[in-house]
Chains A and B, each alone.
Chain A
């Protein structure tokens, strides 16, 4: 299904229709939905899906359907602004031009560098928006600092899974084969429909994780794929699955080891693959003897017979694919969970086969440039990266600081004082990508000068911004969107500018403009299309204009790359790991001081690890399941979406709610030894009586903007209940999905005010 060549057409009524691929902002992961945007008189007058797009096929999520409401929202910030240092937290902004903004920013950066070294400047990035590609070069090559920070404790989003895959498989991100590489999709003869998909700690329907188009699961189920869901909640998807393993939050690695126990002891594994392509099988076999289904049932709440049934199904279904979720990252025991899941994919013979688990090449598409921008930093400066020396397992795969060490540095001024912050699309004092955002809030006050790049005034911008730089939406920029951030590129699509509202700039425009002022040798690009042409041509042989005409680029996929010498730099068969094999026993984990094999460790706070505290806080708290109506902290000001999901929500089992005197729709106070949050009760039998689930990302654009309110950011801030630096041995993972808390009924939202 080739797309028509024209990507921009003029209509009879004088309007212009531009074909584009959606990314963000406004947010979604890089799915690259095919879209058609019609513009007249500087307004988006029609937003619709593009039927020619091979993946989305005309379909759109509600966040994209309301794109015009977002682009033309009256409270959007459309010009740069400045504010006096003493007015932080107050709504006292002055509009300025971009030139005035640069005239303030550039001398400040130079001054900090001269007086305190470039490392005194730190760039903060958020989750999933385009900025998460560009905030690294912004830091390394535009500003020239080694300190780029993704502030979520234990780097608990995507990074751990990518790093584990790097160390265990020596490959890019593992994803379900959903025939995304083929123009004719599921009908392509090279593709085999998965007989079984295991959805583990994930609900792709509503999150489109990392660019995977979630409803591909429905496409495949309609064709006959069966599913197993592993989740503490029975979700709607769970009701369409053949099994749901409703496990105790945070016990996933035990469950994984239980499955491995059954598959290995019953000799259901792929003997050829294990013999030829894995390292450490005998050690793994010995390890899993400690995890009998009966023992695992006691840990996880999943019955032993169900563990056996599901394990046998995973081993015998051909092909079987497993999709691992954020629950792998948001767990201090998550490295071991991920290792167990990769081991399951490998020993069942489902890696890199049609309808199994696809793996990307070791280097990310478009990743070369991002790595190369580090050239701008001297070795001496690079070594000053916060927490890099202390946490080699994190800093080897991730080019950032260690997030928890960064908060410690802000609080202690050690090993040196951070003085300037640049917040690039990161609103992390709302409950998004930080644990204990209240602690970050107090610590960040020590920064002497801050730049915030965003679309709307957020609690984070209101608290800290000295300069506000307005970002354009994806409707207003040229760019590219590549699934899985290039680590397993299923599609690559052009983002085409359809209109421009106000005086806004895209992230890459800001990188180039600032870069040309401070490090011009790193930014030898005429303009944005030229920048993309220089990235695309060497790798794909197409320039940006050609990509616009193609509409979407689907890289060719080659199965069984490990047999063909396509995974290793030396061209030899095998995997790009230390041993050249899939490391069921990890050389690197051991070298970095952890166990070479997967193991289960109790969550830091749980009925087992902290029984006394659990008497006071007798509920297990899990957070972060997504709603279709928002992308993390975005969209709370979009009325049509807020109509669907007006309030933060806590799910409670009817028996739990009854004991606590809570009715459906009541406001509830959740609290533990670290923090408090108010959410509206959703009483549902699909959650375990001992577990509650709370939604994240909440702030209230309609509430008082100024401190101490900051748009009510502390009232429903679920991340205040999650502690700082309760991370795994290798520096990854935090207990965002397995805390403890208690719940009580409130008379109303306003009957209780939370202060930090």
Chain B
């Protein structure tokens, strides 16, 4: 494993992910990917009813193996491009240990991916 893969991650505070698809489309653009291929794919979980009137309904952007596939870009540049455009500002790219600390502060509905 290279150094960048072990050290950096992508944090998603999906309490606030509105499903706007900006990360998905931004990274598709910077990686020059066609329809059907994604650098990040936004998944939808729910909606299903937990108790009457209360729903579980989350969006979660998931990085794919095509992250880092554009050789013209610096390491992490593609993920940063996606993060910058996140409408809810619920994504962060950085060293994994720092993200883990942040996740603990943020509480529920946080995911960290290695990228």
Instruction: Spell out A's residues near B (CB within 8 Å).
Output: 47-49, 51, 57-62, 65-66, 68, 205-206, 214-215, 218-219, 221-222, 234, 236-240, 244, 246, 628-629, 639-641, 643-644, 684-686
Contact = CB atoms under 8 A, between A and B. Distances in A.
A58 B91 CA distance: 13
A684 B86 CA distance: 26
Interface in B17-50: 18-22, 24-26, 28-29, 35-36, 47-49
B20 A205 contact: yes
B57 A236 contact: yes
Contacts of B89: 57, 59, 215, 218-219, 222
A236 B29 contact: no
Given A236-B57, A236-B59, A686-B55, A62 B84 contact: no
B87 interface: yes
Contact of A686 (B25, B47, B81): B47
Nearest to B59: A236
B88 interface: yes
Contact of B21 (A239, A628, A639): A628
B47 A643 contact: no
Contacts of B24: 62, 644
Contact of B55 (A206, A640, A685): A685
Most buried by B among A65, A66, A239, A643: A65
Given A48-B84, A685-B48, A234 B55 contact: yes
Report, as a range, how many residues of chain B touch the other chain: 20 to 34
A66 B88 contact: no
A62 B20 contact: yes
B84 A236 contact: no
A325 B66 CA distance: 40
Nearest to A62: B25
A62 B18 contact: no
Given A48-B81, A685-B55, A60 B47 contact: no
Given A60-B87, A214-B87, A218-B18, 15 more contacts: A59-B22, A62-B24, A65-B29, A206-B18, A215-B18, A218-B87, A222-B16, A222-B89, A239-B55, A628-B19, A629-B21, A640-B35, A644-B24, A685-B55, A686-B47
Interface string B71-96: 00000000001001111111000000
Contacts of A640: 25, 28, 35
Interface in B56-115: 56-57, 59, 81, 84-90
30 contacts: A47-B29, A48-B81, A48-B84, A57-B89, A59-B85, A60-B22, A61-B87, A62-B20, A62-B22, A62-B25, A65-B25, A65-B85, A66-B25, A205-B18, A205-B87, A215-B87, A218-B16, A218-B18, A218-B89, A236-B19, A236-B59, A239-B55, A239-B56, A240-B15, A240-B16, A639-B35, A641-B25, A643-B35, A685-B47, A686-B47
Nearest to B84: A58
A244 B20 CA distance: 21
A237 B86 CA distance: 16
Contacts of B15: 240
A684 B19 CA distance: 16
Contacts of A58: 84-85
Nearest to A243: B53
Contacts of B18: 205-206, 215, 218, 236-237
B105 to A, nearest CB: 13
